[in-house]
């Protein structure tokens, strides 16, 4: 078995791992300018773990190689939405990773695979396990010369939207595990929800508006469900609304479609032409983008940035250099090339969809017969590998991008 790490080595973003002729994920790092995985590869097949840009974002680029493409049906539909969004942004930036035709070909080439179904892929038997990260997300298991498990992004705990990951894996010789939250512990979810909702209510009581920036896929719906559970009625604006329609077509990939539907019914969808009227009174606005890099959230921030009664409640991880990170660390954002100081309050809530330190270590322990573990997708992959070498009975490596490893 030959493994080449083409992206996501000692970094978060542009995940891509080539296992013999099978490519696991092919994502981009959505920074400015965007970064792509190492190239020069010619996979026969691509298996996509989930529909996040850093895992699926540039699969459409590979269509001239005519690979077979495998993913869950939800990931397929979400990838189509993301690809069109990427093309829209590309038009503005003048950098095109792929063309519309590539996206059409990709959709024709996708062979949908449901969880726990076995399929033959280039000499391996492949199986997808529910990764609990976003709807349709999968850990990828390959059984061939060796048995390999790639976790993709994984969450072991239940959320309102999803059940935690299915970790009833078969025996594994090689484990490739994400490391995003190695060394970090998430706060208690119920307590976090309570603090979050209290802060939203306080903002309204003070006469301000609560802006809740959310990732379109998963986080928007999770936050709507939390607000609904506490009897709060928000506005919802942005790509999260389109995503909801995709989820409704695939109810079996959700924990409870009725609860989600109730949450959306409880929210008022904002049409772009009505945005200006919403801020006339204190409002709760769930909107994209989650890291404040584009989307309707910039419109709302442009209107309330000088209102100390209002608040931005960030609901996810903020990558360094993004507007969201700048809002938290520097108290400013950039809108249309102009730096805008924020005179409102900015708070951060860790509604992560990744396993934390405890969850990650638990996954490694479950794969107790693994002979080697590769730690990827994190800022601290080397320390995670060291922890595994010291505490588990196996070797562990934090590969760099471009590393190639042959296992006998």
CB of 178 to Zn ion, least distance (A): 9
Shortest distance (Å) from residue 154 CB to Zn ion: 9
3-class secondary structure, 317:
coil
Contacts of 108 (CB under 8 A, 6+ apart): none
CB of 241 to Zn ion, least distance (A): 20
Which run of H or E residues covers position 299?
Answer: helix 297-304
> Quick check: helix, strand or coil at residue 178?
strand
Binding site for Zn ion (CB under 5 A): 52, 153
Nearest distance from C-beta of residue 391 to Zn ion, angstroms: 26
Nearest to Zn ion of 23, 278 (CB atom):
23
Q: For Zn ion, which is the closer residue by CB, 153 or 228?
A: 153
Query: Closest distance between Zn ion and the C-beta of residue 13, in Å?
Result: 10
Give the residue from 52, 349, 40, 286 showing the smallest Cα distance to 178: 52
Containing H/E element for 340? strand 338-341
User: Which residue, 162 or 285, is less far from Zn ion as judged by CB?
Assistant: 162
Please say which residue, 177 or 344, places its beta carbon nearer to Zn ion. Answer: 177
Minimum distance of Zn ion from residue 245's CB (angstroms): 20
The secondary structure of residue 113, as a DSSP letter, is -
Greatest C-alpha distance within the chain: 66
Of 155 and 203, CB closest to Zn ion: 155
User: Long-range CB contacts (< 8 A, 24+ apart) of 346-350?
Assistant: 346/311, 346/312, 346/314, 347/199, 347/311, 347/312, 347/313, 347/314, 348/313, 348/314, 348/318, 349/192, 349/195, 349/196, 349/313, 349/314, 349/315, 350/186, 350/187, 350/192
Is the CB of residue 303 less than 8 Å from the CB of residue 246?
no
**CB 50, min distance to Zn ion, A:** 6
* Nearest distance from C-beta of residue 27 to Zn ion, angstroms: 9
- Nearer CB in complex with Zn ion: 203/318: 318
- Return the number of the residue (51 or 286) whose C-beta is nearest Zn ion: 51
Question: Smallest distance from the beta carbon of 78 to Zn ion, in angstroms?
Answer: 11
Closest of 55, 116, 151 to residue 253, by C-alpha? 116
For residue 233 the two structure tokens come to: 């009625």
Q: Smallest Cα–Cα separation from 384: which of 350, 356, 354, 353?
A: 356
CA distance 180 to 266: 33
Closer to Zn ion at the Cβ: 27 or 238?
27
Q: Report d(CA 1, CA 400) in Å as an integer.
A: 18
Residue holding tokens 């190639």? Answer: 404
83 versus 372: smaller Cβ distance to Zn ion? 83
């Amino acid at each position: 078995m030959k493994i080449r790490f083409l992206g996501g080595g000692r970094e978060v973003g542009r995940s891509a791992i080539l296992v013999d002729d099978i490519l696991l994920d092919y994502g981009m790092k959505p920074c400015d300018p965007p970064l792509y995985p190492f190239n020069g590869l010619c996979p026969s097949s691509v298996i996509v773990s989930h529909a996040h840009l850093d895992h699926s974002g540039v699969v459409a680029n590979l269509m001239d190689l005519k690979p077979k493409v495998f993913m869950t049906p939800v990931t397929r539909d979400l990838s189509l939405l993301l690809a069109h969004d990427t093309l829209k942004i590309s038009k503005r930036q003048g950098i095109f990773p792929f063309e519309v035709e590539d996206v059409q070909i990709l959709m024709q080439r996708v062979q949908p695979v449901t969880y726990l179904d076995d399929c033959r892929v280039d000499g391996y038997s492949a199986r997808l396990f529910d990764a609990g990260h976003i709807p349709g997300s999968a850990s990828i298991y390959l059984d061939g010369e060796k048995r390999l498990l790639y976790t993709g992004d994984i969450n072991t705990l239940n959320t309102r939207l999803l059940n935690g990951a299915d970790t009833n894996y078969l025996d594994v010789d090689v484990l490739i595990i994400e490391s995003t939250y190695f060394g970090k512990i998430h706060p208690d979810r119920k307590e976090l929800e309570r603090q979050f909702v209290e802060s939203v209510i306080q903002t309204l009581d003070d006469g301000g508006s609560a802006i809740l920036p959310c990732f379109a896929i998963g986080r928007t719906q999770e936050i709507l469900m939390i607000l609904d559970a506490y009897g709060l009625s928000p506005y919802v604006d942005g790509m999260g609304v389109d995503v909801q329609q995709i989820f409704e077509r695939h109810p079996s990939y959700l924990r409870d479609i009725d609860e989600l539907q109730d949450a959306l019914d409880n929210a008022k969808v904002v049409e772009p032409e009505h945005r200006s009227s919403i801020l006339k009174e204190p409002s709760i606005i769930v909107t994209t983008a989650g890291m404040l890099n584009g989307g309707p959230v910039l419109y709302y921030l442009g209107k309330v940035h000088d209102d100390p009664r209002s608040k931005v409640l960030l609901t996810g991880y903020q990558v360094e250099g993004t507007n969201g990170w700048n809002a938290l660390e520097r108290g400013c954002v950039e809108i249309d090339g102009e730096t805008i100081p924020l005179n409102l309050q900015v708070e951060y809530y860790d509604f992560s969809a990744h396993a934390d330190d405890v969850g990650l270590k638990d996954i490694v322990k479950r794969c107790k017969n693994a002979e080697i573990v590769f730690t990827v997708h994190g800022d601290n992959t080397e320390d995670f590998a060291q922890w595994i070498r010291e505490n588990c009975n196996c070797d562990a490596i934090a590969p760099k991008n471009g590393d190639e490893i042959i296992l006998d």
